[in-house]
Amino acid sequence: MTARPAWTRGEMLAVAGSLQVRDGDVAIVGLGLPQVAALLARYTHAPSTRLLLEIGVFEPDPTEPAMGIADPRMWQGGSSFGSMLEILGVMLHGRRVTLGMLGALQVDQWGSINTTEVVAEDGSRRRFNGSGGGNDIASHAARTVVIMSHQPRKFARVLPFVTSPGRMVRGRPRDQFGLTGGGTCAIVTDRAVIAIGPQGAVLDSVHPGEDPDAVVADTPIPLLRGAPAETPAPTAEQLDLIRSRLDPHGWYTR
Amino acid sequence: MTARPAWTRGEMLAVAGSLQVRDGDVAIVGLGLPQVAALLARYTHAPSTRLLLEIGVFEPDPTEPAMGIADPRMWQGGSSFGSMLEILGVMLHGRRVTLGMLGALQVDQWGSINTTEVVAEDGSRRRFNGSGGGNDIASHAARTVVIMSHQPRKFARVLPFVTSPGRMVRGRPRDQFGLTGGGTCAIVTDRAVIAIGPQGAVLDSVHPGEDPDAVVADTPIPLLRGAPAETPAPTAEQLDLIRSRLDPHGWYTR
Amino acid sequence: MRAGPDRRESLADVVADIRDGTRLALCGFAITRNAVAFAHELVRARRHRLSLTQVIGGMETDLLVAAGAVDDLSYGGGSLDRFGPLHAVNRAAMAGTLRLVEYSALALTLRLHAGALGLPFIATRSLLGSDLAQALIAGGHARLAEDPFDGTPCLVLPPLRTDVAVVHVDVADTAGNAVIAGPTWSIPETVRAADTVIVLAEEVVDVGAIDPSHVHIPAALVHAVVAAPRGAYPTAVFGRYDYDGAHLRRYAQAAADAAGTAAYLDEWVFGTGTFDAFLSKAAA
Amino acid sequence: MRAGPDRRESLADVVADIRDGTRLALCGFAITRNAVAFAHELVRARRHRLSLTQVIGGMETDLLVAAGAVDDLSYGGGSLDRFGPLHAVNRAAMAGTLRLVEYSALALTLRLHAGALGLPFIATRSLLGSDLAQALIAGGHARLAEDPFDGTPCLVLPPLRTDVAVVHVDVADTAGNAVIAGPTWSIPETVRAADTVIVLAEEVVDVGAIDPSHVHIPAALVHAVVAAPRGAYPTAVFGRYDYDGAHLRRYAQAAADAAGTAAYLDEWVFGTGTFDAFLSKAAA
Q: Residue D229 CB: number of other CB atoms within 10 A?
A: 18
Average pLDDT on B158-184 reads: 96
Residues 6+ apart with CB under 8 A from C123: C145, C147, C154, C155, C156, C157, D119, D120, D121, D122, D123
pLDDT, mean of residues C220-235: 98
Q: Is C1 on the interface with B (CB under 8 A)?
A: yes
Distance from CA of B179 to the nearest CA of C (A): 11
Q: How far is CA D196 from CA A141, B81, C261, D54, D163, in A?
A: 20, 26, 53, 15, 6
Ranges of each domain in chain B: 9-246
Q: Are D99 and D72 in contact (CB under 8 A)?
A: yes
Does D contact C via 3+ CB–CB distances below 8 Å? Answer: yes
The DSSP symbol for A92 reads I
D224: pLDDT strictly greater than 50: yes
Question: What pLDDT score was predicted for residue B119?
Answer: 87
Q: Quick check: bond before A5 cis, omega within 30?
A: no
Predicted confidence at residue D3, as pLDDT, reads 64
Model confidence band, residue A63 (pLDDT cutoffs 50, 70, 90): confident
Neighbour-count burial for B27-47, b at 16+ CB within 10 Å, e otherwise: bbbbbbbbbbbbbbbbbbebe
- Say yes or no for a CB contact (<8 Å) between D121 and C148: yes
> What is the reported pLDDT for A124?
86
Nearest to B67 among D81, D109, D181 (CB): D81
Residue B26 and residue B99: Cα distance in Å, rounded? 6
Q: Which residues of B touch C120 (CB under 8 A)?
A: 178
Can you point out the beta strands (E) in D11-152?
A: 23-26, 50-54, 70-75, 99-102, 122-124, 143-146
SS3 B159: coil
Look at residue C105 in the predicted model and tell me its pLDDT.
Answer: 98
Among D1, D117, D220, the residue with its CB nearest the CB of A89 is D117
- Indicate if the pLDDT at residue C2 is higher than 80: no
Residues found in chain A = 254
Residues of chain A above pLDDT 70, percent: 98
User: Does the pLDDT of residue B5 top 70, yes or no?
Assistant: no
Q: Encode chain C in three state secondary structure.
A: CCCCCCCECCHHHHHHCCCCCCEEEECCEECECCCHHHHHHHHHCCCCCEEEEECCEEHHHHHHHHCCCEEEEEECCECECECCCCHHHHHHHHHCCCEEEECCHHHHHHHHHHHHHCCCCEEECCCCCCHHHHHHHHCCCCEEEECCCCCCEEEEECCCCEEEEEEEEEEEECCCCEECCCCCECHHHHHHCEEEEEEEEEEEECCCCCCHHHCCECHHHCCEEEECCCCCCCCEECCCECCCHHHHHHHHHHCCCHHHHHHHHHHHHHCCCCHHHHHHHHHC
For chain C, list the contacting chains (3+ Cβ pairs, <8 Å): A, B, D
Query: Mutate which of A28, A49, A59, A79 to test chain D, going by most D C-beta atoms within 10 A?
Result: A79
- Dihedral angle of Cα D196, D199, D205, D206, to the nearest 10 degrees: 0
- Contact between B77 and C2 using a beta-carbon 8 Å cutoff: yes
Q: At what angle do helices C87-95 and C59-66 cross, to 10 degrees?
A: 40
* ipTM of predicted assembly, 2 dp: 0.97
Question: What number does CATH give the domain C12-103+160-283?
Answer: 3.40.1080.10
Provide, for chain D, the percentages of residues in helix, strand and coil under a 3-state DSSP scheme, each rounded to the nearest 5: 35, 25, 40
> Across the B/C interface, how many CB contacts are shorter than 8 Å?
62
CB pairs under 8 A between A and C: 185
Q: C81–A70: do the CB atoms touch at under 8 Å? A: yes
Please give the pLDDT value at position A1.
44
Buried-exposed string D164-192: b where 16+ CB fall within 10 A, e elsewhere: bbbbbbbbbbbbbbbbbbbbbbbbbbbbb
Q: From the list C118, C120, C219, which residue is nearest B79 (CB)? A: C219
Per-residue pLDDT band at B1 (split at 50, 70, 90):
very low
Position D4 scores a pLDDT of 77
Q: Is B81's CB within 8 Å of C116's CB?
A: no
Question: For the residues A106-118, what does the mean pLDDT come to?
Answer: 97
Q: Give the pLDDT confidence score for residue D1 in this predicted structure.
A: 57
Which residues of C fall within a CB distance of 8 Å from A72?
32, 182, 236, 238-239, 242
Average pLDDT for residues D168-190, to the nearest whole number?
A: 98
| CB-closest option in A50, A85, A89 to D220 | A50
Cβ contact D4:A79 at 8 Å? yes
Q: How far is B199 from chain D (nearest CA, A)?
A: 19
Which pLDDT does position B123 carry in this prediction? 84
Tell me if chain B has a CB within 8 Å of the CB of C174: no
- Which is it for the CA torsion A10, A11, A14, A20, positive or negative? negative
Q: Measured between beta carbons, which residues in chain C are less than 8 angstroms from residue A68?
A: 30-31, 79, 81-82
Nearest CB to D121; choose among C118, C123, C181? C123
C184 min Cα distance to partner chain D (Å): 9
Query: Cβ–Cβ of D123/C119 closer than 8 Å?
Result: yes
Residues of chain D contacting C181 with CB distance shorter than 8 Å: 213
CA angle D33, D34, D35 (to 5 degrees): 115
Establish if D212 touches chain A: CB-CB under 8 angstroms: yes
Q: Which residue in C73, C185, C238 has the most chain A C-beta atoms within 10 A of its own C-beta, making it the best mutation to test that interface?
A: C185
Judge: A140–C125 Cβ closer than 8 Å, yes or no: yes
Number of Cβ pairs closer than 8 Å across C and D? 58
- List, for residues A127-160, the tens digit of each pLDDT value: 999 999 999 999 999 999 999 999 999 999 999 9
What pairs with residue B53 in β-bridges?
B57
Provide CB contacts within 8 A for B154, sequence distance 6+. B104, B105, B106, B107, B148
Each residue of B66-81: pLDDT tens digit? 999 999 999 999 999 9
Q: Is the confidence at residue D127, as pLDDT, over 50?
A: yes
Q: Are B51 and B38 in contact (CB under 8 A)?
A: yes
Q: What pLDDT was estimated at residue C1?
A: 57
Would you call D183 and B92 a contact, using CB atoms and an 8 Å cutoff?
no
**What's the CA gap between C69 and C63, in Å, rounded?**
9
Chain A: residue whose CA lies nearest to C128: A177
Q: How far apart are CA A221 and CA A203, in angstroms?
A: 11
- Nearest CB to D192; choose among A59, A81, A90: A90
> What are the extents of the domains in chain C?
12-103+160-283, 121-158
Q: Does residue C162 belong to the interface with chain B, where contact is any CB pair within 8 Å? A: no
Whether the Cβ atoms of residue C91 and residue C39 lie closer than 8 Å to each other? no
For chain D, give the number of residues. 284
The pLDDT, as a whole number, for residue A123 is 84
Question: Which residues, other chains included, contact D243 with Cβ-Cβ below 8 Å and sequence gap of 6+?
Answer: B67, B71, D31, D32, D234, D235, D236
Q: CB contact, 8 Å: D219 with chain A?
A: yes
Name which of C30, C41, C52 is nearest C183 in CA terms: C30
Are the beta carbons of D123 and D114 closer than 8 angstroms?
no
**First-to-final CA distance of chain A:** 23
B12-17 mean pLDDT: 98
pLDDT one-digit tens code per residue, C156-205: 999 999 999 999 999 999 999 999 999 999 999 999 999 999 999 999 99
- Which residues in chain D are contacts of C121 at CB distance < 8 A? 123, 147-149
Minimal CA separation from A203 to chain C, in Å: 25
Angle of CA points B223, B145, C219, to nearest 5°: 165
**pLDDT score recorded for residue B240:** 96
What fold, for A9-246? Glutaconate Coenzyme A-transferase (3.40.1080)
What's the rounded Cα separation, in Å, for the pair D181 and B142?
Answer: 31
- Check CB contact of D205 with chain A, cutoff 8 Å: no
Mean pLDDT of C105-129: 98
Q: Determine the distance in angstroms separating the CA of D47 from the nearest CA of chain A, rounded to an integer.
A: 29
Which chains share 3+ C-beta pairs under 8 angstroms with B?
C, D
Paired strand residues for D155 = D124, D144
Residues in chain D closer than 8 A to C158 (CB atoms) = 149
Q: Please indicate whether, in this complex, the C-beta atoms of A75 and C182 are within 8 angstroms of each other.
A: yes
How many whole angstroms separate alpha carbon D216 and alpha carbon D210?
11
Cα–chain-centroid distance for residue B126? 22
Q: Which member of A61, A95, A96 has the closest CB to residue D1?
A: A61
